[in-house]
Structure 1
Amino acid sequence: MNNSLDQESSRVNFYIRNWLLGILFIISVVGLVALIAPPNTNDSMGYHMPRVMHWIQNQSVRHFPTNYTAQLFLSPWSTFTILHFQILSGSDRFANLVQWFAMIGSIIGVSLIAKQLGANRYGQAFTSVFCATIPMGILQGSSTQNDYTVAFWLVCLVYYILLSLQDETGKHYVLPIGVSLALATFAKPTAYLYSFPFLLWLFIVKVKLLRWQIYQPALQLAMLVFAVNGFHWVRNFQVFRNPLGTSPDYIIYTNRAFSIPIVISNIIKNLALDISTPVPSVNRLLLNVISGIHELIGADINDPRTSSSNFQLNSLINQEDLAGNAIHLLLIFTAIAILGLSWKKKNFNYSLLNYILCIIAGFIVFCMLLAWTPFHTRLHLSLFVLSSAFVGAVLSKQWSLKVVNLVATILLISSLFWLFFNETRPLVANSNLLKTGRVENLFIKSRTYWYFVGRPYFRESMIGATKFIKSQQCTDIGISFNKLDIYEYPLWVLLNADTDKKYRIQHVAVKNVSEVKQNLEPFKRFNPCIIFDSSGIIFEKIPEQKGNYEQKWFLSPVSVLVKTKN
């Protein structure tokens, strides 16, 4: 008997050791990519990194005039952290590490949550394997997106909520819960949606214990959240008359209609993004099935009130804006089914049931409020990270050790694709290998090349434009981008490279709510001698300047206008 227990323990230790080595390998490779590659996701080029550069230039995090208001109102925790790296290092070399550290913290954090949910040792280890191998997580872990940072703070929040719920001494963990909630909401607005069901669970349990005294910890939580977010809310209110800001008219962030069919439609379309395949013919088949379901429920699959674009399934599954998590989604549904089938057992774990119900509720709230976009899988990352603990706790209890090890092995092996063939930061190659037969990776192509991977048509024109600008005796540069195609950050990098000149860069021809900032210091004194324009309609925006600037350089889509001498 003792011999068989020793063998079982030895097998468990062997599996756990191998899993942890696999996790360490994943973390190491993602960290290597994060250090080698420049920040280059489209959102990072459009607003994450540009806002950092404007803050450094302005020596303030106050709002500024901009043609892209996402640079202002969106939660700034990740970019505040990048800001410190940028100032201390003098470059963006460490900008990707913010997400990488969040990835590591999440992998550790979900294992602790799994323990709170009743997982044993190898259940905790399997939880970490599940989290470490999430395709979207691997891709984002080396980027300057902010979905892993909010996932990390939500993991902290949920962990302390579970501690509070299970603490028999009456301890409420107000400080760590409040700080975690504050930093989660300060990292990304999706935290408001995903945290709400867990906070409601906490409130229901605590109100039974504290009765009317519940106001004390609730007030303390609110004060902590305001202490962290308050100044940003005030800055937003001053410009947008809304503490959370408002999206431009040409971007649909929130649903503009509500009904049961609409919610069901958004649930189906969001889930469908995670089962998208690299095979277009399979995606077309899935699209036909989903369209048929929409006909049955009487919903418009492309309802303009609830969709930012027509519904589509993307075959580019190795890109951090589009990648799905099909295997992980299947395991989540499997764990839910197993839990459902065991609910009549005497030792049924109601904490597990409440936990997964909170995750499902968060997803439903997400689908109720946010308009569908083809990029929503990156916003799902927090839900997959939190689901890791549920899957680990359920499957490690219900499946044999050999089956769990088989699943963990499949997850670890499949992760190699996303580790080495990241579309925007590949260690081996990306889709150009199939399209053109050319191998492109971080070791072959220059750092400058990878800044433009999201908008290759900007590469030649922006490099040429900055060379021309540097040849002029001008350091005050106005910029104007097409509102639907803002790719600003590489301009900052190119202008400030290999020069002793100190350039000031500011948006001009601003025609949105942030233009009120143009009348304030130091922005009102800005008088650009050169305008970098990719909008093509600069003089339609500022017709009074038509005689004051002449186009001196052009390569589509960029024009460089130089101020004429009076």
Structure 2
Amino acid sequence: MLIKVFTTKNYKYLLFSLLAGLLFLLVNFGFYYRNYQLTTNLLGVDEKEYGTYSNEKMSAKLLLSSVLKNTGNHIGVFHLKPLSEFTASTIIKWHKMLGVNINDPANNYYKDKYDTLYNPAHEDAAPNFIHFILITASIMLIVVQTFKRKIPLQVKLLVFTIIFQGLFFCFYLKYQPFHTRLQTAMFLLAVPLICYAVTLLSNHFKKLFYWTTPFIFVYALMIVQGNLNHPLNAEISKSRSEKYFMAKPWLHDEYAGISQKINTLKYTNVGLTLGDGDNDFEYALFTNCYSQPINPVYIEVNNYTQKAHHFTSNVDCIVSTAANKPFIDYQGKRFYNQNAGNKLIYLYR
């Protein structure tokens, strides 16, 4: 876009871009205003939370470490676990050679330890192995071809943008095992680059690529159909709530029981106090809020969001995954535990 503006001197293209940016700001103005009220930050990140995401220290070795760890997240193939395990062990050995602690909390989010996770069908951690190979091969091919032919400036800028994005991502953000989902935008940006690289191939390699493409689509379909959290092959007979807990079916009965109780008693303001585990799903309690208004009210909040006024609302009951105790006192009223025999979630009223 910018290249076209400066070469043609037709600034109406720039006007369209500015209007698109202005429209984006207008649509999201309410969110930015709320964020600024709570944290004095438009993005809604306070100083404490900010430090949990960005690298606390950086050097050439640590940047290489971050690149290796993020690359390792993408080395994995469906039904080929040994490849992922080999990648993990190799990257760990390289870190020992570099003299870098692969699990340094200063460079790993929330003290996460390096792990390839081998969850090729997990929507948060699925590796983009084939896509990663195609991007790497495309960039290498284009770089080689720059010495043999004239490569359009747009293509060179795209290559630079993708490489810069990847390096800046590794430089700025701490490592997470779930980084593959955050790198989706960069992978999508590389699709035109792959398409251009194919045009540089000889006819023999083009035919090979075309014959390989259907297998790539079939592999992608296998990943989508076997999605660990939301598989497409879920049984039609299963209820909506059962499908929601497809990856963790042992949670369904407790959540469904409490949700049904809330609906039966027609509670409107539901107090929530949730733990820090992986099994806290408030959404499952409010799936019917369109037909019956239900207002979640977070209580016992100890972070910056406690400044929001809705934490002081009266509640009809309290749902907790943080504590299993006989009762909870809130705003001068005592709520008694109705599900002390549960293992995860409890209703107090």
Q: TM class by shorter-chain length?
A: 0.7 to 0.9
CA shift digits 1:189-234 (9 cap, x unpaired): xxxxxxxxxxxxxxxxxxxxxxxxxxxxxxxxxx666545544333
Shift of 1:299: 1.8
Contact 1:316 1:322 (8 Å CA) reproduced: yes
Contact 1:255 1:371 (8 Å CA) reproduced: yes
Once the two structures are superposed, the pairs formed by residues 241-252 of structure 1 within 5 Å of their partners are 241-246=40-45, 252=52
Is 1:477 aligned with 2:317? no
Query: 1:456 is matched by which residue type in structure 2?
Result: P
Q: For the residues of structure 1 that align with 2:145 and 2:268, how far apart are their CA atoms? A: 69
Moved more, 282-291 or 394-403: 394-403
Query: 2:18 is matched by which residue type in structure 1?
Result: G
Contact 2:326 2:337 (8 Å CA) reproduced: no
Partner of 2:16: 176
Shift of 1:364: 0.9
TM-score by length of 2: 0.86
**Which one of the candidate residues 443, 452, 456 is aligned to 2:245?**
452
Distance 1:545 1:394, change over 3 A: same
**Which one of the candidate residues 44, 61, 68 is aligned to 1:261?**
61
Partner of 2:82: 281
Partner of 2:34: 235
Partner of 2:113: 310
CA shift digits 1:98-147 (9 cap, x unpaired): xxxxxxxxxxxxxxxxxxxxxxxxxxxxxxxxxxxxxxxxxxxxxxxxxx
Partner of 1:512: 303
Contact 1:552 1:560 (8 Å CA) reproduced: yes
Q: For the residues of structure 2 that align with 1:528 and 1:538, how far apart are their CA atoms? A: 18
Distance 1:397 1:506, change over 3 A: same
Partner of 1:463: 256
Q: For the residues of structure 1 that align with 2:67 and 2:286, how far apart are their CA atoms? A: 40
Shift of 1:492: 0.3
Distance 1:529 1:224, change over 3 A: closer
Q: For the residues of structure 1 that align with 2:256 and 2:120, how far apart are their CA atoms? A: 30
Larger helix proportion of the pair: 1
Moved more, 231-240 or 361-370: 231-240
Q: For the residues of structure 2 that align with 1:407 and 1:305, how far apart are their CA atoms? A: 42
Partner of 1:535: 322
Distance 1:556 1:317, change over 3 A: same
Partner of 2:225: 420
Contact 2:230 2:247 (8 Å CA) reproduced: no
Once the two structures are superposed, the pairs formed by residues 215-226 of structure 1 within 5 Å of their partners are 226=25
Shift of 1:388: 0.7
Structure possessing the higher relative contact order (Cα contacts under 8 Å, 6 or more residues apart): 1
Moved more, 383-392 or 235-244: 235-244
Query: 1:549 is matched by which residue type in structure 2?
Result: F
Partner of 1:396: 199
Partner of 1:387: 190
**Which one of the candidate residues 319, 325, 331 is aligned to 2:122?**
319
Shift of 1:513: 1.0
Q: For the residues of structure 2 that align with 1:470 and 1:446, how far apart are their CA atoms? A: 17
Once the two structures are superposed, the pairs formed by residues 103-502 of structure 1 within 5 Å of their partners are 160-161=1-2, 163-164=4-5, 167-171=7-11, 173-179=13-19, 182=21, 226-246=25-45, 252-277=52-77, 278-308=79-109, 309-400=112-203, 401-428=206-233, 441-472=234-265, 474-485=267-278, 486-493=280-287, 496=289, 502=293
Q: For the residues of structure 1 that align with 2:27 and 2:84, how far apart are their CA atoms? A: 43
CA shift digits 1:444-484 (9 cap, x unpaired): 43221121235434311111112333443643221111134
Structure 2 runs not aligned, ≥5 long? none
How many residues align? The count is 341
Partner of 2:338: 552
Contact 1:255 1:306 (8 Å CA) reproduced: yes
Query: 2:17 is matched by which residue type in structure 1?
Result: I
CA shift digits 1:493-512 (9 cap, x unpaired): 15x48xx7543321111111
Distance 1:537 1:179, change over 3 A: farther
Computed over aligned residues only, the root mean square deviation of the Cα atoms, in angstroms, reads 2.9
Contact 1:475 1:502 (8 Å CA) reproduced: yes
Distance 1:450 1:252, change over 3 A: farther
Contact 2:75 2:83 (8 Å CA) reproduced: no
Shift of 1:161: 4.3
CA shift digits 1:218-273 (9 cap, x unpaired): xxxxx666545544333212101222222665993222222222211111111111
Q: For the residues of structure 2 that align with 1:447 and 1:335, how far apart are their CA atoms? A: 43
CA shift digits 1:51-80 (9 cap, x unpaired): xxxxxxxxxxxxxxxxxxxxxxxxxxxxxx
Distance 1:272 1:242, change over 3 A: same
Contact 2:326 2:336 (8 Å CA) reproduced: no
Q: For the residues of structure 1 that align with 2:19 and 2:72, how far apart are their CA atoms? A: 34
Query: 2:230 is matched by which residue type in structure 1?
Result: R
Percent identity over the alignment?
22
| Secondary structure, counterpart of 2:346 in structure 1 | strand
Shift of 1:543: 6.0
| Secondary structure, counterpart of 1:252 in structure 2 | helix
Distance 1:505 1:538, change over 3 A: farther
